Amino acid sequence: MVEVKPEIALVWLKRDLRLRDHAPLCSAINTGLPVIMLYCWEPEVIADRHMSQRHLQFIAQSLNDIDQQLGTNAVLQIQGSAIEALNLVLTEFTVRQLFSHEEIGVEVTFKRDKQVRQWLNDRQIPWTETPYGAVQRGLPNRKGWNRHWKSVTQQATFDPDITALKDNHWANTKLCSLVGAPTIENNTNFQMGGERRAWHTLYDFFKGRGQDYYRKISFPMDARTACTRLSPYLAWGNITIRQVIQFIDQQKANGNAKGIHWTRTLTALRSRLQWQSHFIQKFESEHQMEFRAVNRAYAHFPFIDGPESHRRFVHWRDGKTGYPLVDACMRALATTGYLNFRMRAMVTSFLCHHLNVDWRCAAEYLAQQFLDFEPGIHFPQIQMQASVTGVHTVRLYNPATQSKRLDPEAVFIKKWLPELEKLPKDVCHAPYDIPPLEAQMLDFDIARDYFVPIVDIQKDRKQNAERLWSFKQRDDVLKEAKRIVKMHTLADSPSRVWVKENTE
Q: Report helix, strand or coil for 19.
A: coil
Report the percent of the chain where pLDDT is more than 90: 85
Q: Are strands 94-101 and 127-130 parallel, antiparallel or unpaired?
A: parallel
Half-sphere exposure of 282 (CA within 13 A, CB side): 30
How many CB atoms sit inside 10 A of residue 316's CB? 25
Nearest to 135 by CA among 15, 26, 293, 39: 15
What pLDDT was estimated at residue 233?
98
Judged by average pLDDT, the poorest of 255-264, 296-305, 360-369 is 255-264
The Cα–Cα gap between 482 and 504 comes to 10
Domains annotated for the chain, with CATH where assigned, are 7-130 (3.40.50.620), 195-285 (no CATH), 289-503 (1.10.579.10)
What pLDDT was estimated at residue 11?
98
What pLDDT was estimated at residue 458?
93
pLDDT class of 252 with cuts at 50, 70, 90: confident
Residue 427 near residue 413 (C-beta atoms within 8 A): no
* Cβ-based neighbours of 431, under 8 Å, separated by 6 or more: 324, 420, 423, 444, 446, 450
What pLDDT was estimated at residue 343?
98
Rg of the chain on CA atoms, in Å: 25
Nearest to 117 by CA among 104, 126, 106, 108: 126
Q: Is the pLDDT of residue 227 over 60?
A: yes
Chain length of the chain: 504
Let me know the angle formed at the C-alpha of 53 by 49 and 58, rounded to the nearest 5 degrees.
115
What pLDDT was estimated at residue 1?
55
What pLDDT was estimated at residue 493?
56
Q: Where do runs of H (alpha helix) occur along 392-456?
A: 399-406, 411-416, 425-428, 436-441, 446-449
Q: What is the pLDDT of residues 391-428, one digit of tens each?
A: 998 989 999 999 999 999 999 999 999 999 999 999 99
Q: pTM of this prediction?
A: 0.95
Q: What is the pLDDT of residues 270-290, one digit of tens each?
A: 999 999 999 999 999 999 999
- Residue 153, burial from CB neighbour count under 10 angstroms (0-12, 13-18, 19+): buried
More confident residue, 430 or 179: 430
Q: What is the pLDDT of residues 55-89, one digit of tens each?
A: 999 999 999 999 999 998 999 999 999 999 999 99
What pLDDT was estimated at residue 258?
76
The Cα–Cα gap between 202 and 234 comes to 11
What pLDDT was estimated at residue 138?
85
User: What are the φ/ψ torsions at residue 11 (nearest 5 degrees)?
Assistant: -110, 120
Q: Is the pLDDT of residue 103 over 90?
A: yes
Q: For residue 273, how far is the Cα from the chain centroid?
A: 13
Q: What is the pLDDT of residues 121-162, one digit of tens each?
A: 999 999 999 999 999 998 888 888 999 999 999 999 999 999
